[in-house]
Structure 1
Amino acid sequence: MASDPGKDTANRRAGEHPADCDVTVQLSDCDRADAKAVFEALNGVFAGCEDVAPQSAGREPTVWMATFDSSARSGEPTAAPRLGSPVEALLTGDHHAVEEVAKALGHLFDVRSTQHVSGEHETECRLLLAPR
């Protein structure tokens, strides 16, 4: 069944989008500044679906998480942000959507290792991001 481009555009304006375009990005083994740098860089390329890098005070979480809409490109990858140390990223979502976000991260950072685990409808991609 073909989708109606006019309806798709109206849904996006209303804040809705196809769920298969969402990619959840989880960052671990990093501090708040590095998580914020990665999420802000991705937010410059894709529309963020939820707040990124929480601003709450107190104990640092062990995993930072945000969701991005891979269908809503808002720009192209720009200059690589600074990272204090390598960051482990886990991307989860539709195969094509994860590929788009991984490609953008590859333009922004030095990707030192990649692992893919594919399922029938979703894929997981683990990346080790390092500063350029």
Structure 2
Amino acid sequence: MESNGTRNHPADCDVTVQLSDCGRQDAQTVFDTLDRVFAGCDVPASGPEQPHLHEPTVWMATFDSSARSGGELPAPPRLTTPVTAVLTGDHHAVAEVEKALDGLFEVRSASSIPGEHEKEARLVLAPR
């Protein structure tokens, strides 16, 4: 197994989470919540609020699915709008993150595209 150079864990435990159709606040809510469940490998800094309406169209972070916090899941966070999430990684790693998201948010729709070595899952997350 290959290792991520910045952390000492197997690279096949990494899941990339891409969020779209949402603003900075909702993206940060999802990432902060996942960071309490899994070790965030590459969580974007919140940065200053933009005084204009130009926001990124996709927010992205990477989580180590093997590094669960071991505690209870945090309380379901509040979202202002449904958020589209695309999870990419090893089949088992994506399943772990999907399971965590399903316990935190209402998953309104889901589809997955299995590949030979990785899986892509598309979810729409809404507040419970």
TM-score normalised by length of structure 2? 0.88
Q: Which residue of 1 aligns with 2:113?
A: 117
| Change beyond 3 A, Cα 1:99–1:93 | same
Q: Which residue of 2 aligns with 1:39?
A: 31
The one-letter amino acid of 1:73's match is R
How far apart are the structure 2 equivalents of 1:68 and 1:27?
13
**3-state DSSP class of the match of 1:66?**
strand
The one-letter amino acid of 1:77's match is L
Does 2:24 align with 1:24? no
Q: Higher helix fraction: Structure 1 or Structure 2?
A: 1
Q: Which residue of 1 aligns with 2:62?
A: 67
| Change beyond 3 A, Cα 1:43–1:108 | same
Q: Which residue of 1 aligns with 2:104?
A: 108
**3-state DSSP class of the match of 2:44?**
coil
**Structure 1: where are the runs of 5+ without partners?**
4-10
The one-letter amino acid of 1:47's match is A
Identity %: 65
Per the TM alignment, residue 45 of structure 1 is displaced from its structure 2 partner at its CA by 0.3
How far apart are the structure 2 equivalents of 1:39 and 1:89?
11
Structural RMSD (CA): 1.9
**Structure 2: where are the runs of 5+ without partners?**
none
Per the TM alignment, residue 54 of structure 1 is displaced from its structure 2 partner at its CA by 3.6
Matched length: 122
**3-state DSSP class of the match of 1:101?**
helix
How far apart are the structure 1 equivalents of 2:61 and 2:21?
16
TM-score normalised by length of structure 1? 0.86
Per the TM alignment, residue 55 of structure 1 is displaced from its structure 2 partner at its CA by 1.4
How far apart are the structure 1 equivalents of 2:78 and 2:45?
16
Q: Give the counterpart of 1:52 among 41, 44, 60.
A: 44
